[in-house]
Amino acid sequence: MRRFFGFFSTFYAWMTGQDAWRDSCAALVERLPRESGLRIVDLGCGPGVSAFEVARGRPSASVVGVDSAASMLQQARRRSRMEPPPSDRVRWVCADAGQLPFRTGSVDALTGHSFLYLLADRDAALTECLRVLRSGGRLVVMEPSDRPVRLPELLKTSLDPRFLLSVALWRPMSRLRGRFGPTSLEAMLRRSGFATCRVEETLGGLGLRARAQKA
């Protein structure tokens, strides 16, 4: 089993290390606060693509990549050794989103690129997100959309074979685990206590990007 997860994490790192996925991760940063010296936690960071884009977009921030899979974090650390700064400003923590190892009110912003839909208890994870955020702190996530997407729309986003492969795997997986509409994603965030929620389409309609704030 360990070999399987090791292989899968290597494959996943290769598959998501492409421009469309990076651009989607970078778009999360555009919705983050612009103050200097932020403490940002990237949830479900996987092999590190999203955390590195957060670090690039907010050069003065302290970025923590969190994932529950040790094999994914091994890939992230390997990427840290191979990529130039700002990867040396990112640290990695193996933890569950439902039990975050951070003090209450100690985080300025949280990001997550396609991770909530995988969780068995999304409400518990969002409750933890609310706990660790400071007052006025922000959560920015991208999750799979339940809107049907036609092939021409998909091809406008990217022709990279790695992107097309990732979508070919992501769509059936998200159908199995649960996709979101704008209304259902906003309702889930508000139910957990977040305020000023905004949801918009991204990735050519494949995803939804949501921004929510702690009161």
pLDDT computed for residue 6 by the predictor: 59
Q: Say which CATH class 2-213 falls into.
A: alpha beta
Q: Is residue 211 over pLDDT 50?
A: yes
- CA dist., res. 94 & res. 73, Å (int): 7
Q: Is residue 4 over pLDDT 50?
A: no
Type of residue found at 104? T
Q: Is residue 1 over pLDDT 50?
A: no
Taking residues 167-194, report their average pLDDT. Answer: 96
Q: Is residue 170 over pLDDT 90?
A: yes
Going by pLDDT thresholds of 50, 70 and 90, the confidence category of residue 117 is very high
Cis check: omega of the bond before 101, within 30 degrees of 0? no
pLDDT computed for residue 87 by the predictor: 77
Q: Where do the domains of the chain lie?
A: 2-213
- CA dist., res. 148 & res. 154, Å (int): 11
Average pLDDT, the chain: 93
- CA dist., res. 110 & res. 115, Å (int): 12
pLDDT computed for residue 65 by the predictor: 97
Taking residues 36-51, report their average pLDDT. Answer: 96
DSSP string, 69-128: -HHHHHHHHHHHHHSPTTGGGEEEEE--TTS--S-TT-EEEEEEES-GGG-S-HHHHHHH
Q: Is residue 2 over pLDDT 50?
A: no
- CA dist., res. 75 & res. 9, Å (int): 7
Taking residues 37-48, report their average pLDDT. Answer: 96
